[in-house]
Structures are given as structure tokens and as C-alpha cells.
Amino acid sequence: MPWCFAKDSGDHKLSNHPWTFLLKFPKLNCMQFMFRLLASVVATLFLFNSVAEPSPKIPRFSVDYMDKSVAPDADFFHYANGNWVKNNPVPPDKSRWASFTELQERNWYLIHEILDSVCAEKSAPNSDEQKVRDFFLSAMDTNHLEQLGFKPLQAGLKRIDKIKTREEFFRAVADFRHSGAGSCFGEGVSPDLKNSGVYALYLTQGGLGMPDRDYYLKDSFAKQRQAYGVHVAKMLAMIGEPEDEAKKNSVTILELETAMAKASKSRADLRDPIANYHKFTVAQAVTNYPHLPMLVYLDECGLKKMPDLIISQPEFLDAFDKLVESRPLAEWKTYLRWHLVRATAPYLNSAAEDESFAFNGKVLRDQEVQEPRWQRSARAIDAEIGEALGKLFVEKHFPPAARARMLELVGNLKAVFRDRLQKLEWMSETTRAKALVKFDRFTQKIGHPEKFRDYSTVKIKPDDYFGNVQRADLFEAKRELARVGKSVDRTEWHMTPETVNAYYSPSINEIVFPAGILQPPFFDADMDDAVNYGAIGVVIGHEMTHGYDDQGRKYDGEGNLNDWWTADDAKAFEARAQKVVDQYNGYEALPGLHVNGKLTLGENIADLGGTSIAYEALQRALAKDPSKRKKIDGFTPEQRFFISLAQIWRTNIREAEARRLVTVDPHSPGQFRAIGPHVNLQEFYDAFDIKSGSAMWREPELRAKIW
Ligand SMILES: [Zn+2]
């Protein structure tokens, strides 16, 4: 499905979340899986010395972050953030440092306190506390992991050795994928885009070990490609292949993946939901892909009787099918061995984990050192049994008052958006009526699920980190596969409560805000309205606008792909959207490295709509209570709104990470999200008295106005 691009390719699970505020953090070094030990809990605490450090301070709005020596009309990003940028280099264990990473870092520290406290207490067998505790213990017990070495991988490697037929191979592909090691292509379960009440099985392009097809095909990634070959050979040598053979095999793997990369669509082309939706009967799929034993694969998924499936990119599967035929089974076994070790390395001994980091952290993202062990362990728990951890997190850190205040803010933003839809001068009455029907159906979720996921059937042991990850992945895959053809669960969440992010789901037509983001600098009860509307207000407006961006507008109020636009209105929308494409194409993230205006279009439209709507909502709040219309720290409410928004996007980033994100991330780099929406709004120029001829000025005929 179209939203798999929110994650790194190679992931076994398709992300069925839709359009987020930020790119989701890839699972540990872009991978999957896991294990663990320990007799005495009290002893462990000392052994690990894992007592939480004091939480980093709350990263709230501050005029101290500004550099007032920079004129706002010359460089608004540095005017709003210059001092922060100077004083907050990227920490050695990160590849990017920004307001949301500061906040997420604080959440990790709060989670560390929770983990230490569950370790210090006795918990009921099979309770969420027991699972979180034992998962953490298993991840922290590095002595045991060193003793185990590569033993946890042996069963999988033996299974690959024994494969003699294509059928056995694809059974293994399915099983490994479902316990965390995806390969060959992507698979996922999501609402049917044309029948949003029912889950469908999707097969998509995939199977790569690097983040995107560009890494295989473009000159600018030659260095990473070369390093990838070395990395693959090293890992294969670690699992026992003689060095020469490992080197030879790394060449084979790169050849196979390059062929798959060539058959893959670009991320910008994946944005068109209609062009990426192709429903086939199982019988058709069997005929279309004669070298991919589809029935065997589906049988292994427990879906033998399923009538149909959706193949998002049939051209990819076509090429893959031919590749299966043209390359010997022995090569595919090598490829599968690589993807098994690649996905599981972070949950093995330090040799495997360090080598995985050397490529996925250092080469791909310029990260200097790994995050502390406790933090990597917390990320693994969040990725694997995140709602169990989330339940403990919200008990401590989500005050009920936050939900009430959020509901009020969402209501205020909704009122503005609805009025806009009613008045929009470029839309016909026919399309408008349908837009309003869609708008009136959309809903919101705030904080955390009403009912948390039940993990009681997942066995989590204190001495089996690898097994814990595998079992949690398998639980999740089975849970999803079992619902193909069944009704969609509208109460489900696609982010854990501790996440600093938000999303819009086009199939459900809803906006969702986890507890993690409902804190400063996004949401701050101690700050004035201007600062809050410039932060969480814009986030709310951003998610609402996703329902009407270049992709979202193709779904109706029921969440189905369905063209409800007149041809003229669609043309008018596209002309306006083209201005956004042109604007962001003009931004350079690094010298010579331009933002991809088409890939980032949906997010940029959402930033623009969100900003414009939040600004008007602030004006309404100020009109209601004129006592709020006063200067604070020497700034008017309008000025504080735009400064607050720019501060949300304060960012420092390493070069490799900037290149990776420009390639894979549908969101624009922070420094452009901090000014991109502003320069389309006359209200911004008025607030800072910015005149024609200055660097920030954008001629009125170039400015985009959509919602
Ligand atoms: Zn978004």
C-alpha cells in the first residue's frame, strides 16, 4: 500500500499508518526481531547499573533560542532558532537533534524510570508489568547474550541449509517475515482502499537491505553501496562462512537487490494511491507469477482460502518472478541467510550488534556511537510490545486535563476548516457538498487507546531476548493475518502512546495524537495561546489537512478510494498544488541536494493548511478574549505564533542523515518546514513588517493557497 514509504524498505511489516507529522523512527537500525535472563531482579539492577539519569529538561518555547542579530526578513529560521542551533550540536549517539527528538529523549528517560521501577517490584505472572520487565531484563543481560553468541540463529540457518525446492524457500520467506525478518517483497494487512470496512492482504515492492532504490542506482550513493558490500561480507563471515565465500556471496546479494531496486518505483510514484492499487483473484495471481508459488506462500500465511489480494506494484512482482526463475536457488538461499542475520543482529551478541550499527548507524546516518543500552532496549520494547509499555507510561504521564484541552483545540481548528470549506472560492458547489460530507465524518483520538492490546498469549522470558522479539513479531503478524476479510477495527491505534508524532488515517478518516506529543514544546499549559496555536494547533491543522492533500483528497468520507471531485475542481487543486511543488523543489538541503517537491507534496500541503488554519483559530481566540492581545517577551501574539512554529522545527542534522531523509522521508527538512508555510501567508509578512525585495519575500503570484 502507498504508506509503506513511511518506513525503511526491507521491513517485514508494512506500516499501515498513513500520514504522519514526522517520519517514524525505523525499528532498531532499520531492522527487526529479538531474546534474554536472570534469577534475581534486585541483583540485576546493580548488575546493569541501569538507574535512570535525571530527565532532560522540558524543551519548551523560549525566546533565548532566537538569534536577534539575524533579521527576520533575511533568514527567519536562524532568527527564531539561531542560538539554539549554535548551542545544541547533534549528540554523538544521534544523527539529528530537534525539538521533537529533545522531547522524545525526555520520554525515554521517563520510560527508563518506569522500567527500573517495574524491575524493582514483584509483578503478577503474565501481566503487562511482567512482560515489560522481563523484556527489559533480557535485553540488558549482555553477559548472557555474549555467551549465546550466534546460537539463537542456528535453527533458522539450518532451515535455510535444508531448503531444496522453491516451495520450501517461500515457506521460509513467509515464516521468517512473520517473526521479524522480511525479504523478497513486502507484505501487510490493511483496510482495502476501495472497501475500507474490510481488511485485505497487500503484497508490495520490497526486499532491499538499503533504505531506498536510489542507494543501489545513483552515483551519489556509491560510497554507501561499497560499504554495504563490505558489511554484508563481514556479517556472513560472522555466521561462519569462509571469508572468500562471504565476499563472493555479498556480490551475489548486491546483484539480486540491485535487480529488485531497478524494478521498484520511486517513492514519489508510490504516492499515487490509484496507480498502486491492483486487486487480483488468487487464481489470477497464481497464473501471473508462475515462479512464485503463491498458493504455498499464502498457505504459510494461513490464507489459503482467501479469494483475492491486492498487489500494489504488479510490475515489481513481475520482475521479481523472472528473477526467481533466472537465478539459482542456491543464490536465493544466500540472500535469505543475509536477510535473517541482518534483521536479527541487533538482538544478538555485541559483535553482531556493533557491525549492524557500523553500517546502519555510522555509514547511513553519520551517528558516532550507539545510544545507551537501556535506550536501545526501551526502543525494542516500544517496537515489540509497545502498548504494554504505553499503558504504564500514560498511567504516570498523561493527565486527564490534557485530553479535555486538546478536544477544545481540535474543535476550534475544525470550526475554522469547516468555514473555509464552505467559502473556498475555487471549489464548485458539487465538490464542496462532498467535501463537507467527508469533513463531518472525520473523528479524532487523543492520548491512548481506550483498550490496550492484550499480549497475554506472548511469552516473554527474562533470558531470551532473541526469542522475545521473534515471538512478539509473530504474535503481531498472526493477529494481522487472521483478520484478512474481516471488519476493520476502528478503535485500533497505529502509534504507541509514548510516541512523539501524530497521524491521519485516510481509511478511517481520523486524526490521532498520542500522549507523547501532548507536552511542551507542542502543547504547554503554561504558555500563551499564540505559542500553543503555533505548535500543537499547527499539528492538529496539519493532520486535518492530510484528508485533503494530493493523496487524501482521493478518498471519500467513508475512507474509500473514490473520485468525488469534478474535473475542473481537480484541475484547480492541481494548479495550486504545483506551486507548492515548485516552492520546495527550490530548497537545497545540502549544496546540490534539492528537496523533492513531489515526494514531500502531501506533507507540505498539510504544513501550509495547518499553519493557515491554526493562525485563524488563534485570531478567533484573541477576538473572544481581547485581554489576551498583549505583547509577551516583547512580541505580539502574531509574532509569537510564527516564532513558535519555526521553533518546532529547530534542527541540527548530520550530512549522511540529511541525504538519507531527503531520499526516503516524505517530510521536508526541518529548516524548510520552519519557513515554507510562512512565506505563503501575507499575515507572516505583516507580523514582521517584511517588504518586497527581502530574502524571505515571495511574490504574491508565486504563493500557494489551497485550504
Ligand atoms: Zn503529515
State the SS3 of 175-206: HHHHCCCCCCCEEEEEEECCEEEEEEEEEECC
Looking at residue 26, what is its pLDDT?
47
Residue 641: name the closest of 545, 529, 526 by CA: 529
- The mean per-residue pLDDT over the stretch 565-591 comes to 97
Confidence of residue 57 (pLDDT cuts 50, 70, 90): confident
Distance 22 CA to ligand 1 centre (A): 7
445-502 pLDDT, tens digit per residue, is 999 999 999 999 999 999 999 999 999 999 999 999 999 999 999 999 999 999 999 9
d(CA 377, CA 383): 10
Query: Residue 453: what are its φ and ψ, rounded to 5°?
Result: -60, 140
Q: How far apart are CA 319 and CA 205, in angstroms?
A: 10
Query: Using an 8 Å Cβ cutoff, are 600 and 673 in contact?
Result: no
Report the separation in Å between the CA atom of 536 and the middle of ligand 1, taken as the mean of its atom positions. Answer: 13
C-alpha cell at 224: 554507501
H or E segment at 531?
helix 529-532
The hierarchical CATH code for the domain 166-347 is 1.10.1380.10
CATH superfamily for 70-88+419-444+527-702 is Collagenase (Catalytic Domain) (3.40.390.10)
CA distance 320 to 308: 20
pLDDT (0 to 100) of residue 25: 52
Reported confidence tier of residue 514, pLDDT bands at 50, 70, 90: very high
User: What is the pLDDT at residue 23?
Assistant: 75
- Please choose, from the candidates 311, 303, 304, 242, the residue with its C-alpha nearest in 3D space to the C-alpha of residue 275: 311
CA 346: distance to chain centroid?
Answer: 19
Give pTM, 2 decimals.
0.93
Give me the pLDDT at residue 1, please: 26
At residue 538, does pLDDT exceed 80? yes
pLDDT tens-digit series, residues 614-658: 999 999 999 999 999 999 999 999 999 999 999 999 999 999 999
pLDDT at 4 over 80: no
C-alpha of residue 548 to centroid of ligand 1, in Å: 11
Task: List pLDDT tens digits, range 62-103.
Answer: 999 999 999 999 999 999 999 999 999 999 999 999 999 999
Q: How far is the CA of 214 from the centre of ligand 1 (A)?
A: 23
Examine residue 521 and say whether the peptide bond preceding it is cis (omega within 30 degrees of 0): yes
- Residue identified by cell 554523538 is 92
Please state the domain extents for the chain.
70-88+419-444+527-702, 166-347
How far, in Å, CA of 595 to CA of 590, rounded? 9
**In the predicted structure, residue 580 carries a pLDDT above the cut 70:** yes
Q: Average pLDDT, stretch 575-582?
A: 98
Residue 371 has pLDDT above 70, yes or no: yes
Chain-wide mean pLDDT for the chain? 93
Question: Given a cut of 80, is residue 46 above it in pLDDT?
Answer: no
CB within 8 A of 102, min separation 6: which ones? 56, 59
404-411 contact pairs (CB < 8 A, 24+): 405/523, 405/525, 406/446, 406/447, 406/513, 406/518, 406/523, 406/536, 407/444, 407/446, 409/532, 409/536, 409/537, 409/540, 409/617, 410/444, 410/446, 410/511, 410/540
Alpha helices in 141-277 (DSSP H): 142-148, 154-162, 166-178, 214-217, 222-238, 243-262
Q: Are 674 and 657 contacting, i.e. CB atoms less than 8 angstroms apart?
A: no
Residue 323 alpha carbon to ligand 1 centre in Å: 36
For residue 6, report the distance from its CA to the centre of ligand 1, in Å. 10
- Give percent of the chain with pLDDT exceeding 70: 93
Top-confidence residue, 444 or 29: 444
Residue bearing the bigger pLDDT, 443 or 15: 443
pLDDT tens per residue across span 310-349: 999 999 999 999 999 999 999 999 999 999 999 999 999 9
pLDDT at residue 309 above 70?
yes
Please give the positions annotated as active site.
Answer: 543, 607
Q: At what angle do helices 41-48 and 128-140 cross, to 10 degrees?
A: 40
Task: Quote the ligand 1 centre to 630 CA distance (angstroms).
Answer: 32
Q: What is the DSSP letter of 487?
A: B
> Could you tell me the distance, in angstroms and rounded to a whole number, from the CA of residue 660 to the centre of ligand 1?
18
CA angle 525, 528, 532 (to 5 degrees): 70
Containing 599, the helix (H) or strand (E) segment is: none
- Interior angle at CA 229, CA 370 and CA 159, nearest 5: 85
Tell me how far the alpha carbon of residue 539 lies from the centroid of ligand 1, in angstroms: 8
pLDDT band (50, 70, 90) for residue 400: confident
Q: How many angstroms separate the alpha carbon of residue 359 from the centre of ligand 1? A: 29
CA 265 to CA 676: how far, in whole Å? 27
Q: What is the pLDDT of residue 399?
A: 87
What pLDDT band is residue 24 in, cutting at 50, 70 and 90? low
